[in-house]
Amino acid sequence: MSKLLRTENRSPGRGRRWQRGLLTLALALLAGLSGAMAQMQPSWVRKDEPVTGEREPALRKIDWQKDTLARDRINYYRYRLPQELRRQNNFAWARADIPGLHKKEYYAHSRIQSLDSLSSRNAKRISGISPKPDPKEARFKTIMVDYLGNIGGPNAIPRWFDTEYKIMEDIASRLPDTSVEGHIQLFTNLEPCRSCWGVMKQFMAVYTNIEIEVLFSWP
């Protein structure tokens, strides 16, 4: 009996330790989940940059094994390009799930500004590609940035040829109603530069009920 009493007397302590262990584990899991859900930022964002509070896209690296639907559509449109451009410069694809928007998929290449410079055969294959918009009709502003994300400077280049910019302009040209709700998933080979990130933020400032998810492959 005395042995049983000693065992029972120890049980509450073990129970409390067990509960504390469960609580610690739960907190660790929540912390891990919170970290996984934290907004990924482009690599060019500096730690000392102020937080503006503006809406911005969700960003993550594409998982070629899991993102199978996106992967198949990316490959479908990539292989419509002339062979010499399929792995050069930058390529982007997007799917826009927005009520009333009849065109759902978009793609662009940084070397293709229009169909004029292509053969009739190639032009026919990519007739739906998003071109460089007319500067007079463009809705969003690009900026001069270099490959490190620095604005201006000797190595900065114009960004009106960038793929994300062309796609955002193409979608906006088909969306007169700025109150529409929806979601855009956009893939770009290269991580968005500061200019393209800014263009997407401009888009989201106009279309306040549309979310954008950006997938990238490199780096």
Name the band, by pLDDT with cuts 50, 70 and 90, for residue 93.
Answer: very high
0.85 exceeded by pTM? no
Q: Let me know the angle formed at the C-alpha of 62 by 57 and 66, rounded to the nearest 5 degrees.
A: 125
| Cα separations in angstroms, 168 against 22, 66, 68 | 48, 26, 23
Asked, for residue 33, whether it belongs to a domain, the answer is no
Q: Find the Cα–Cα–Cα–Cα dihedral 136, 206, 193, 183, rounded to 10°.
A: -120
pLDDT at residue 32 above 50?
Answer: no
Greater confidence (7 vs 66) lies with: 66
| Cα separations in angstroms, 105 against 25, 71, 143, 214 | 43, 13, 26, 14
Number of domains in the chain: 1
* pLDDT tens figures, 194-215: 999 999 999 999 999 999 999 9
- Gyration radius of the chain over CA positions: 24
* pLDDT tens figures, 120-148: 999 999 999 999 999 999 999 999 999 88
What does pLDDT average to over the chain? 88
pLDDT at residue 18 above 70?
Answer: no
Asked, for residue 46, whether it belongs to a domain, the answer is no
Tokens representing residue 143 in the block: 């900026």
Asked, for residue 10, whether it belongs to a domain, the answer is no
Asked, for residue 191, whether it belongs to a domain, the answer is yes
Which residues constitute the domain of residue 119? 58-218
